[in-house]
Structure 1
Amino acid sequence: MLEQFSETINAGYQFKGPSFVLGGAMLDKATQTNTLVSLPMATLNRHGLIAGATGSGKTKTLQILAEQLSKEGVPSLLMDMKGDLSGIAMPSPGHRKIDERHAAIGLPFTAGASPVEFLSISDEKGARLRATVTEFGPVLFSKILSLNDTQGGIVAVVFKYCDDNELPLLDLMDFKKALQFMTNEGKAEVQEIYGRISTASVGSIMRKIVELEQQGAGTFFGERSFEVDDLCRTDELGRGIVSVIRLTDIQDRPKLFSTFMLQILAEIYSTFPEAGDAEKPKLVLFIDEAHLVFDKASDALMDQLEAIVKLIRSKGVGLIFVTQNPADIPENVLGQLGLKIQHSLRAFTAKDRKAIRLAAQNYPITEFYDVDQLLTELGIGEALVTALNEKGIPTPLVHTMLRAPESRMDILTDAEINSIVKDSPLVKKYNQEVDRDSAHDILTDKIEAAHAEERQEELKEQRAKARKSTGSRRREKSTLEKVMSNTTTRQIGRTLARELARGLLGILGGKRK
């Protein structure tokens, strides 16, 4: 049995092209020295899964894969949800248990660090990852907001109007301003060219945007846009750079996380050239806490994710999902994953036991293990492993004692992180504030100019009315003037004057006599 097992594993995990050792094979819970389990570089763009209960060693497995890929010249992108992946930038201090593990595997242990770049989509330290609303496009932007067809049509009109009028949509403020302008000041113009826009639908879109803003998306949308080619760098020694996105402060904001992930995947798919069948991937993305991507995703968003997962491998890009249970990954996505590394699962309830039976069905049939039982008995740093060989055929399922990471299995200090960030060329490139005129500024100026013009027209009208009113007052006589100018009044006045004169003259004449 032992001889047959060793022959099966050695034959199943021997590859012609580049590969790296993941650990040593185990049978009957004992490590078989010099029966090594390796992974072929050529099929790592067929995607993969690292699953297991909390504390079973998933994060360290991710660390092992990233540092071995780096040594082979393959860059990677890691989602650091808990803050414990930063240690990959420093060599392991070593430990007695590490030496014992590697002695059992039959693999010498060598400490080493990987070149690391820290990235951020929030307020964490690192190079800022941003994208403009325009780069998302109307279809993807609508799917992120979970809009219906009518609302999505309005979003398409907003993008079209801004394109036609050279209004850059850089951030969410730009989009909101454009939407407000098109339904208020610019309503007549928009309706004439693009048709009527429902105010009720506009209100729904605004509420969706506010929801996205409340999860911190305001810091993600904007400039300077991150260029995904910067994820594919190597250092002067030819090692792939490990880009670590620090996400410790967005675990409670799944909408922002899924928005970021979808944009990154879409940007990579749209910009990377076709790679064909290469000896190794161009880039590998590790998506930790993958359930956060899928749990809150709308049906439309799920369709988009599934399509990208199926197609992005042709660009030479591999995706490794990291989660607690394979059931966290939709079946249509799970079926695309060639590499599976399954750590221990817990069977505390009847539901847990059912989930374990279903999980066991995801792996190749084996005569060497009772998979259902073994899934609950795996120790820390142990896993069931299967991959695709260079011909695309699944390798035999093997209980594996995983090698230890060559880098530090702990977080970096603030001083160490600050030192890496300080020397980062990407921080200098992307953390500068860019404040060019966008749709918000241009439309605000346009509205203010329109309002100023309206005020000028109002002032002109007011002055005209004032002049008219003043002229009317000049032509209009008072009551006394009207009486005095009356013909009858004038005649009576003349008569009275004559009589007064006569009387006066009579008196004067009498005196003279």
Structure 2
Amino acid sequence: MTQILDSEAGTIFVGGGGADYGTAQNLLLKYANRHGLIAGATGTGKTVTLQTLAESLSLAGVPVFLADVKGDLAGLSRPGGEDAKLKGAFSERADKIGLTLDYQDFPVTFWDVWGEKGHPVRTTPAEMGPLLLSRLMELTEAQEGVLNIAFRVADEQGLALLDLADLQAILVWVGESAKELSLQYGNVSTASVGAIQRALLVLQNQGGDRLFGEPALELADIMRQDQAGRGMINILAAEKLMNSPRLYATFLLWLLSELFEQLPEVGDPDRPKVAFFFDEAHLLFDDAPKALIEKIERVARLIRSKGVSVWFISQNPADIPEDILGQLGNRVQHALRAFTAKDQKALRLAAENYRPNPDFDTADAIQNVGTGEAVTSLLEAKGVPGIVQKTLIRPPFSRLGPISDDERAETMKASPMAEKYDTPLDRESAREILAKRAEDAATEAGKEKQPASGSDDDLFEMNTGQHKQDRRYEPERKATKSRSSRSSRSDSIAEAFGKSFARQVGTRAGKALVRGVLGSLFRGR
């Protein structure tokens, strides 16, 4: 009987091997980090393929990170075989390909940006950086430039950007100091600052503030194994996140970038260090600026040397930019429907991406394979693309479909990640530091306004003549006052901001501004 994992050969079984199919298809773990593609129309079996690959990689000791956009993949945490109808269908499929069904659960950690269906997963604005944040907020080139200045100034002044409130505070600081900053960094438009603030408010209303904060996700916590040596399967609950597709795409791109920047070079390992699955991959590239697509292409090309296997899942290979598609050596193509001339053209283009098989026409095979079947091409020895084969994908060992809320809560409670991530932190950062500077500046300004001697009553007891004498124009005093005024204008940027902030605090409008910018608007998580 066929084994899922062949440790000696370094392969995992994908499917095939029946009378109506070609030879058994095995993924060489050595070339799994050459990345892969799972494509096909809705309802053709992409989710099952993703689930079986995650199971196999876990059995091989490879940690996996994937997004669950429909709630179906949570079943990885429970053994299969409970549904009698599915059990019969899977048993029949297993017999065709010579596989013994070994129903079992897999080690799973649930994550959720909102912290509802998994442990909260967070990052900080500083870690995400201005490029991805600009894409997330759909900023113009000029607005992106102002955001870059804000990040640069925050870095130079030691102002940690740990959440959206910190970013909001530094933008207020930049707007107040626009004149001085423009001389050093280029034009800082208050209109651009205002536009960024509005975008941050929209992001907060969409729940994006939950993504930013501490404790931030550490990569080591998604690259774990259980006591049996199986790789941890990290499932990001994305049903709600998909309502904000740009937030979803930006988060996954940030995670991939972090893997690229933090992991060391390992050359060609005998198996990946971690496998990463991008479901609904077209969202990564829709309306993405050229600079971002170039970054994704660069990461996809170079991250394989760090032992990371990246899989893109989408309905059509045409959803993936050609330069990135060329990096995907392992391909599982489920059925494509060709109802229009455009669909037929896309079908032919998809077929041209495969090494032809003389036994059948690839385009016809892609159009006519049934549910659970696929046309596959997996890398062979020396990284050569395999001849395209019709393949019957193996059935999963874990449950196919969602789990109950109680089952999810049970898995989360048993996870060691609960203690580390479920309680948020609020360390001193840019918002608190700038507020303290403003408070100190206000206190200092108040001291400067105190009379040198005498009491307040003495001022009111001044006789009229003395009062008029004090108000009389005197050239020397005027010159002194002018020099003082010029000196105040040469104050440091931080002091200028603090004094301006202090003046605002003294008014009702100023107090409202403080509450709106530095108050509790962005503290909710």
1:106 aligns with 2:60: no
Structure 1 counterpart of 2:79:
91
Rounded Cα–Cα distance in structure 2 between residues aligned with 1:65 and 1:222: 33
Shift of 1:125: 2.1
User: How does the TM-score come out when normalised to structure 1?
Assistant: 0.83
> SS at the partner of 2:72?
coil
Q: Which has the larger displacement, 261-270 or 353-362?
A: 353-362
Structure 2 counterpart of 1:156:
148
- What are the equivalent positions in structure 2 for 1:174-213 lying under 5 Å apart? 174-184=166-176, 186=177, 190=181, 194=185, 197-213=188-204
Rounded Cα–Cα distance in structure 2 between residues aligned with 1:276 and 1:243: 25
Structure 2 counterpart of 1:117:
109
1:306 aligns with 2:260: no
Bigger-Rg structure (1/2):
1
Structure 1 counterpart of 2:63:
75
Structure 2 counterpart of 1:52:
40
**Alignment check: 8 A CA contact 2:25 2:378 kept:** no
Rounded Cα–Cα distance in structure 2 between residues aligned with 1:196 and 1:308: 32
- What are the equivalent positions in structure 2 for 1:70-469 lying under 5 Å apart? 70-93=58-81, 95-147=87-139, 150-184=142-176, 186=177, 190=181, 194=185, 197-458=188-449, 460=451, 467-468=458-459
Shift of 1:204: 3.1
Rounded Cα–Cα distance in structure 2 between residues aligned with 1:396 and 1:405: 25
- Amino acid across the alignment from 2:395: A
- Amino acid across the alignment from 2:409: N
**Alignment check: 8 A CA contact 2:178 2:189 kept:** no
- What are the equivalent positions in structure 2 for 1:23-42 lying under 5 Å apart? 23-25=15-17, 30-31=20-21, 35-42=23-30
Counterparts in 2 of 1:475 and 1:314: CA distance versus 1, 3 Å:
closer
Shift of 1:279: 0.9
Rounded Cα–Cα distance in structure 2 between residues aligned with 1:462 and 1:321: 76
> SS at the partner of 1:109?
coil
Shift of 1:156: 3.0
Shift of 1:190: 4.2
Q: Which has the larger displacement, 196-205 or 58-67?
A: 196-205
> SS at the partner of 1:85?
helix
Shift of 1:104: 1.1
- Unaligned 5+ residue runs, structure 1? 1-13, 477-513
Rounded Cα–Cα distance in structure 2 between residues aligned with 1:15 and 1:389: 16
Shift of 1:38: 1.1
Q: Deviation string for 1:229-258 (max 9, x for gaps)?
A: 211110111111111111110212111112
> SS at the partner of 1:375?
helix
Counterparts in 2 of 1:462 and 1:427: CA distance versus 1, 3 Å:
farther
- Amino acid across the alignment from 2:207: G
Rounded Cα–Cα distance in structure 2 between residues aligned with 1:206 and 1:298: 21
Counterparts in 2 of 1:448 and 1:62: CA distance versus 1, 3 Å:
same
Counterparts in 2 of 1:139 and 1:173: CA distance versus 1, 3 Å:
same
Root-mean-square deviation (CA), in Å?
Answer: 2.6
**Alignment check: 8 A CA contact 1:144 1:301 kept:** no
Rounded Cα–Cα distance in structure 2 between residues aligned with 1:215 and 1:298: 22
> SS at the partner of 1:384?
strand
Counterparts in 2 of 1:331 and 1:432: CA distance versus 1, 3 Å:
same
Q: Which has the larger displacement, 304-313 or 459-468?
A: 459-468
> SS at the partner of 1:49?
strand
Q: Quick one: which of 39, 43, 49 aligns to 1:61?
A: 49
Rounded Cα–Cα distance in structure 1 between residues aligned with 2:18 and 2:363: 16
Q: Deviation string for 1:142-178 (max 9, x for gaps)?
A: 4544545544443333223222322111112111111
**Alignment check: 8 A CA contact 1:215 1:256 kept:** no
- Unaligned 5+ residue runs, structure 2? 1-5, 468-525
Q: Deviation string for 1:333-380 (max 9, x for gaps)?
A: 111101110001112222222221221111112211122222221111
- Amino acid across the alignment from 1:272: L
Q: Deviation string for 1:411-453 (max 9, x for gaps)?
A: 1111110000001111211111201111111112222333344
Q: Deviation string for 1:442-476 (max 9, x for gaps)?
A: 11222233334445545659998974553124879
Q: Which has the larger displacement, 360-369 or 79-88?
A: 360-369
> SS at the partner of 1:471?
coil
Counterparts in 2 of 1:214 and 1:360: CA distance versus 1, 3 Å:
farther
User: How does the TM-score come out when normalised to structure 2?
Assistant: 0.82
> SS at the partner of 1:21?
strand
- Amino acid across the alignment from 2:129: G
Shift of 1:220: 0.5
Rounded Cα–Cα distance in structure 1 between residues aligned with 2:185 and 2:103: 63
Rounded Cα–Cα distance in structure 2 between residues aligned with 1:373 and 1:461: 94
**Alignment check: 8 A CA contact 2:280 2:313 kept:** yes
> SS at the partner of 2:368?
coil
Rounded Cα–Cα distance in structure 2 between residues aligned with 1:460 and 1:302: 63
Shift of 1:318: 0.7
**Alignment check: 8 A CA contact 1:79 1:247 kept:** yes
Counterparts in 2 of 1:238 and 1:176: CA distance versus 1, 3 Å:
same
